[in-house]
A and B are shown apart, each in its own frame.
Chain A
């Protein structure tokens, strides 16, 4: 079955220890490493270097700044064995080179195994759909704890 961000799966895919509301570094690469380290510390990543290489290769292809103040760095890599999502915020914004010129203030990372192309597209599209709504973005800006942020995501994909 294709994995996606359903209400039932969010606690597994985006566990609260994969969410931090401390402000991320303003440099794009540092921000990507910061999100990756959340997943590493949560025990989701078997090989940090391999995952970082895949993420940076994806960024080199085209930016993952999708506009509306959102960045979604992502990669398919066998450095993970399960699809995993991390989230952080940036107060000053990170330049993800998005076409609308908006710096990213809400930044998600998606890592899925190499074989998980369907999971990848599914998680990315569900997350994007949720984030197009003002109330989702406002809820994530206003969240005071990782639990709050996770609850906003659950509500957004309902």
Chain B
């Protein structure tokens, strides 16, 4: 089984730069595999790869789909949601 969640991106720069790096690190700190994609596309890509996340070009205010598969799906999605919903200047304080 897997768990899906849709999250709206808050950081002003979108899923880019520090928010993107924090996001990818959070994915790799958890055991579940995570895939990410736009809500209007079926394709999902690896959320644990910086180049893949950069390729999304996800902007602030945009919704993205997260799909977690593994032993800590909910905890992983909670951590990623915290990263995606903090303004950029508070990212350093996010508990992932």
Contact = CB atoms under 8 A, between A and B. Distances in A.
A99 B24 contact: yes
A23 interface: no
Contact of B52 (A61, A117, A132): A132
A117 B47 CA distance: 23
Contacts of B56: 125
Nearest to B20: A62
B21 interface: yes
Contacts of B70: none
B14 A121 contact: yes
| Residue of B18, B54, B59 with highest tally of chain A CB at under 10 A | B54
Interface in A46-61: 58, 61
Given A99-B25, A121-B16, A131 B51 contact: yes
A147 B57 CA distance: 27
Given A67-B49, A67-B50, A99-B25, A129 B55 contact: yes
Given A67-B51, A99-B50, A128-B55, A58 B14 contact: no
A63 interface: yes
Interface string B52-68: 10111101000000000
Given A121-B16, A128-B51, 17 more contacts: A61-B17, A62-B18, A62-B21, A67-B51, A68-B49, A98-B50, A99-B21, A99-B25, A99-B50, A100-B49, A121-B57, A122-B57, A124-B54, A125-B55, A128-B52, A129-B55, A132-B52
Interface of B: 13-14, 16-18, 20-21, 24-25, 28, 49-52, 54-57, 59
6 contacts: A62-B20, A66-B51, A98-B50, A121-B16, A125-B56, A125-B57
